[in-house]
């Protein structure tokens, strides 16, 4: 990944354990991370963190983020309400690659209660390393912001 801006990361209580794991993995890769919480497994509303992280990406579209809740569904729904955010729920490697190649996803969402740590690591690696193909896909994503 060619981006020196810190990767935003956030979760609710159900995604907390996987968030901590992914954060450690990103640090191991020497990638800067900005942790937007939560900081424990105390119950919170996924919408709060999801909207907050998505807004940061909307304010600076060069940034990328990772959100984790129990299924990944709530975080995806929340984040995709924010303009210019393309949040992709990827609990498998094919979706992770395609969300970058075709959708230029700027937010990766995973389900902490759906996938294990090793798969999550691979998903993150593939998602960060896969480039957007542009071309006809550029036209399609531009229509979303109009
Ligand atoms: C929390 O129990 C759970 O509902 C949340 O993490 C998420 O899966 C919602 O979509």
Q: pLDDT 10s per residue in the chain (146 long)?
A: 546 799 999 999 999 999 999 999 999 999 999 999 999 999 999 999 999 999 999 999 899 999 999 999 999 999 999 999 999 999 999 999 999 999 999 999 999 999 999 999 999 999 999 999 999 999 999 999 88
| Arch. (CATH architecture) of 7-145 | 3-Layer(aba) Sandwich (3.40)
Domain boundaries, the chain: 7-145
71 lines ligand 1 (CB under 6 A): yes
b vs e for 41-73, b when ≥16 Cβ sit within 10 Å of the residue's Cβ? Answer: eeebebbebbbbbbebbbeeeebbbbbbbbbbe
Name the residue with the closest Cα to ligand 1, atom 10. 74
**Cα–Cα distance for residue pair 24/93, rounded to 1 Å:** 20
Q: Parallel, antiparallel, or unpaired for β 65-69 and 87-89? A: unpaired
89 lines ligand 1 (CB under 6 A): no
Distance 55 CA to ligand 1 centre (A): 20
**Cα–Cα distance for residue pair 3/22, rounded to 1 Å:** 18
**DSSP label of 91:** S
């Amino acid at each position: 990944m060619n981006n020196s801006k810190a990767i935003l990361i956030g979760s609710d209580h159900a995604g907390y354990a996987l968030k901590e794991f992914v954060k450690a993995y990103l640090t191991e890769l020497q990638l800067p991370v900005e942790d937007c919480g939560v900081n424990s497994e105390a119950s919170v509303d996924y919408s709060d963190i999801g909207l907050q992280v998505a807004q940061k990406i909307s304010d600076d579209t060069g940034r990328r983020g990772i959100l984790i809740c129990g299924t990944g569904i709530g975080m995806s729904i929340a984040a995709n309400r924010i303009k210019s955010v393309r949040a992709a729920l990827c609990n498998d490697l094919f979706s992770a690659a395609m969300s970058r190649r075709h959708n230029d996803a700027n937010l990766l969402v995973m389900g902490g209660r759906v996938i294990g740590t090793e798969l999550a690591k691979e998903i993150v690696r593939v998602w960060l390393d896969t480039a957007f193909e542009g071309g006809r896909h550029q036209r399609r994503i531009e229509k979303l912001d109009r």
